[in-house]
Amino acid sequence: MHAAILLIVAIVSSCSAPWETLDEALSDVSPEVAKWASVVVVTDQGGDPQFAWHHYQDSGEAVNFWPASVIKVYTAVAALEYLNELEMDTDCALIFERYTDDRWVLDCARTMTEMLSEVFRRSSNEDYTLLLRFVGVDRLNSSFLIPERGFPHSALMRGYVLGRPYEYVRQEPQRITLRAPDGRSTVVEHSWSGVSYAQQRGATVISETTGNCTSTREMADCLRRIMFHEHLPPEERYRLTAAQLNLLRHGGGGLTGLQNRKAGPYAWTNAAELAFPDASYFHKAGLISNFSLDLAYVDDPATGVRFVLAVAAGTGQTKVITAVARRIALWIRDRQCRNDAPPPLPPTVEPGASLVELYADDRFFEGPVWDPGTARLYFTAFGKDNQQVLRLEDAGNVAVYLDRTEGINGMYLAADGRLLCAQAYGHRVLSYDVGAAGLTEQTILAEDKTWNQPNDVCQTSTGNIYFTDPDFGRRTTSGVYRLSPDGQVSKVIEDMAAPNGLIASRDGSVLYVADSFRKHWRSYPIRSGGSLGQGQVFFDPATEDRSDPDGMTIDADGNLYFTGRGGVWVVHSTGACLGLIPVPEFCSNVTFGGAEGSTLFLTCKGKLYSLAMRVRGAKFADGD
């Protein structure tokens, strides 16, 4: 806690960014695996969408990966366009025949809507191959996947089923009879010429004569044109009706479209959903033994964020696609956090939740800790002549659990269930047993009268206790100390003028410390013995608000909650900003608690608040 309390003012600039470009954002994600990515960030300008393209390295032009089932989107669009050219209804039936052994052989029949739905619902290879048989390899590659229509690097050369009745054989005559519900019918006949369009367009994967090829840019553009058809100039639009676009986008009537989380949502689960959990999600994924892909559109009305991503990885392990998509979503969220004033609410806040005032009086509150044993919140209070530890009994009602504390400020629940306390004016680190009768069995863990004023405290799973000792006045003797399990105290940070709040990452590998002099948050790697490596600036929101960075906590997903500089900043473990919880008073500290561990408690100047969250605190995580 610092004596200076500043009023919150409008945020006019941006958060510090962990990555400026897509290259920077993706460079350290599975660096041993080849990957490709194109992203279209959509913004609104006077009601019209504007599209900003970003490509990872040379992904915009590269075709050196196998596009797998993502290319089924191309065939779905091409099939509907061909249907319209034939002036046949979308829900018509198609009867497939092939000419073999000097006769026409009936293979099967499908409705167009059934084939489209199955391609999206379960990525059906049978229905994709039938769509390809209907359109024809030659027609597809000579009138749809062509440079004039935006596809200079794409070619489809093979079906994905090699057995009857679905297989599409080169140079074998095809006959498809289309029958509309009203009785109209038409017949198309064609055969596959054998021309290698893939070879013409630079396919280098699997086979240069029969291989499929495309770029992530063209995949992304295909989906962009489906989702934004109505807003595009005529030359960019597909030759589809409004009803057909709706079918592709949403399905309906028991049919599946792009808006689904089936058939491999690698870019959504534990990826885009972490940054935009309430977004609408449209996608088509692909997977074979050594390539995985996802093409997706994310539309989040809560934040106004819209983007298309097309990602591919040179591995059949879909966790790489998930990691790439997660990083892209964080990159986009961080950019929004830096560019929007004010920043959006973090995605970890329960939708519709707002701050609830639990207690107020004319003091400064700090050090919130939830004790699961007593199911109560404890926090500290600084008045003019006295400092206390309070327990929240219910809204508006507190009990004094420790009086005249000699400046107990930050508190932390240790692994053994005891309450760790940083005692400013007693120059000590203490622990207490927490019980229904109050705080008992005080133990002095460390004491040094030369310390300035121990301020905040935390513990890692190794038993090491870290505490800050700021010299707020002269700013010459501040430090951060480690108290080892055997009782030895060592100074681990000496170069910070005013260290304040601190917390360790869930895995105990990083220590985060608030710097109240430089007004930012720093991170330090924790070495195996408990000492610290070289620190660096971890988060520094560029705001007019220069109130002190103060206390912090961490949730079950490893996201950090930093108080100061306008409220509570929620920051991903990568340093990407997830958003800001604005608080009307100066907010000194936060912790998770409540019966489910999903209530955030905020101590402030004169106020104690709670906020419903959609995540739990780290101490409530499964396995902790």
CA-CA-CA-CA dihedral for 95, 101, 103, 108, to nearest 10: -10
pLDDT at 360 over 70: yes
Look-up: residue for tokens 């260290």? 499
Statement: residue 32 has pLDDT above 60: yes
* Residue at 342 is within a domain: no
DSSP assignment of 250-269? H-BTTB--SS-S-S--TTII
Q: Are 583 and 569 in contact (CB under 8 A)?
A: no
Amino acid 9: pLDDT: 28
Which residue matches tokens 């095809």? 174
CA dihedral 241, 90, 223, 326 (to 10 degrees): 130
Cα gap 147→183, rounded to integer Å: 37
Number of H helices, E strands in the chain: 10, 31
Task: Name the least confident of 32-41, 137-146, 197-206.
Answer: 197-206
Is the residue at 42 inside a domain?
A: no
Give 479-528 pLDDT, tens digit per residue. 999 999 999 999 999 999 999 999 999 999 999 999 999 999 999 999 99
Sheet holding 292-300, edge to edge: 48-55, 35-45, 305-313, 292-300, 280-287
Strand partners for 308: 40, 297
Residue 619: count other Cβ atoms within 10 Å of its Cβ.
20
Choose among 41, 48, 89: nearest CA to 247.
Answer: 89
Which amino acid is present at 136? G
pLDDT of 16: 53
Helix, strand and coil content of the chain, in percent to the nearest 5, comes to 20, 35, 45
What's the total number of domains in the chain? 1
Sign of the CA dihedral running 395, 397, 399, 403: positive
Residue with tokens 């029969």: 210
Whether 440 is covered by a domain: the verdict is yes
> Cα(457)–Cα(439) distance, rounded to whole angstroms?
17
The set of residues, in sequence order, having a beta carbon less than 8 Å from that of 420 and lying 6+ positions away, is 411, 412, 413, 414, 429, 430, 431, 445, 457, 458, 459, 465
Q: Residues 484, 490: contact at Cβ < 8 Å?
A: yes
Distance separating alpha carbons of residues 371 and 205, to the nearest angstrom:
58
pLDDT reported for residue 176 = 98
**Over the stretch 277-286, which tens digit does the pLDDT of each residue have?**
999 999 999 9
Q: Give me the phi and psi of 144, to 5 degrees please.
A: -115, -60
Give the angle 124-127-133 at the CA atoms, nearest 5°: 140
125-135 vs 72-85: helix axis angle to the nearest 10? 40
Tens digits of per-residue pLDDT, 37-65?
Answer: 999 999 998 889 999 999 999 999 999 99
Average pLDDT of the chain is 94
Query: What is the DSSP track for 299-310?
Result: EETTTTEEEEEE
For residue 605, give its domain range: 356-620
Percentage of the chain surpassing pLDDT 70? Answer: 97
First to last CA, the chain: 29
Give the model's confidence band at 3: pLDDT under 50 very low, under 70 low, under 90 confident, else very high. Answer: very low
Q: What is the pLDDT of residue 384?
A: 87
What pLDDT was estimated at residue 6?
Answer: 28
> Is 378 inside any structural domain?
yes
Residue 623 confidence (pLDDT):
54
Task: Tell me whether residue 523 is in a domain.
Answer: yes
Q: How far apart are CA 462 and CA 485, in angstroms?
A: 8
* pLDDT exceeds cutoff 70 at 8: no
User: Does some domain include residue 510?
Assistant: yes
Q: Reply yes or no on whether the pLDDT at 624 is more than 60.
A: no
pLDDT tens figures, 311-347: 999 999 999 999 999 999 999 999 999 888 889 999 9
Note whether 43 and 49 are within 8 A (CB): yes
Residue 163 in tokens: 């057995």
For 199, how many CA atoms within 13 A lie in the half-sphere containing its CB? Answer: 7
Q: Which CATH number do you get for residue 462?
A: 2.120.10.30
Average pLDDT of span 290-305 = 96
Q: What are the C-alpha distances in Å from 164 to residues 96, 106, 124, 169, 456?
A: 11, 10, 15, 10, 71
Q: What is the pLDDT of residue 5?
A: 28
| Cα-based torsion angle of the residue sequence 19, 320, 279, 328 in order, rounded to the nearest 10 degrees | 20
Strand-pair partners of 48? 45
* Block residue for tokens 């004319």: 362
Is 597 part of any domain?
yes
pLDDT at 12: 30
Assigned token pair, 155: 């070619």
pLDDT band per the 50, 70, 90 thresholds, residue 10: very low
Assess if residue 301 is contained within a domain. Answer: no
Which uninterrupted H or E stretch holds 296? strand 292-300
Q: Look at residue 14 and tell me whether its pLDDT is greater than 70.
A: no
Q: Which residues pair with residue 431 across a beta bridge?
A: 420, 443
Count Cβ neighbours within 10 Å for each residue of 481-495 and write b for 16 or more, e otherwise: bbbeeeeebeebbee
Q: How far apart are CA 550 and CA 521, in angstroms?
A: 9
Q: The tokens of 121 are what?
A: 């619902």
Crossing angle for the helix pair 72-85 and 242-250, to the nearest 10 degrees: 160
Contacts with 336 (C-beta within 8 Å, 6 or more apart), sequence order: 303, 305, 343, 344
Residue 546 has pLDDT above 90, yes or no: no
Burial of 441 (0-12, 13-18, 19+ CB in 10 A): exposed
